[in-house]
Amino acid sequence: MKNSLHSPRFFLAHWAGCLAAAFLLAMALPSWAMTEADEKGVRTVVEAQLEALARDDAATAFSFAAPNVRQAVGTASRFMDLVRKSYPAIYRPASTAFLKPEAHHGQVIQRVQLTDESGAAWLALYSVQRQKDKTWRITGCQVVPNKGRMA
């Protein structure tokens, strides 16, 4: 059988190529254009959690975590212990500088440049997601040494 424009094989190959191209295009574009209100909401939830951590207010800090994080960690006390042991740079940073949040596939990445009490520079990458009730909640955080320029 010849490969013609009307053969099932050509049809499937054509649509598979179109779907792959659409997927790659969607991956390259943000999920949505963030509004100023979105940006403010994202920054506010991260700032509020940092402030609660600095006050040792475990319950409030834990309340800004997304439901999946709260379920995985279990309790506010465990959350605070986890932050103290695994994320000392965000527990009580000496300084913070918020960069512009970026939307990616239903999540927002909020970058925060931090310095710790010893003066070491860190970059915290918060993933934040809008919940069904329209609030923003933190779904994760990664902290890495900041070898770049501070804002």
Measured on CA atoms in the order 30, 36, 37, 40, is the torsion positive or negative? Answer: positive
Q: For the chain, give the longest Cα–Cα distance.
A: 74
Tell me, yes or no, if the pTM score tops 0.85.
no
Q: In the predicted model, is pLDDT for residue 59 greater than 60?
A: yes
Which positions ≥6 away from 107 have C-beta within 8 Å?
A: 127, 128, 129, 139
Render pLDDT for 6-23 as a digit per residue (tens, 0 to 9).
544 433 444 334 334 434
pLDDT (tens digit per residue) in 92-136: 999 999 999 999 887 899 999 999 999 999 999 999 999 999 999
Give dist(CA 55, CA 94) in Å, integer. 14
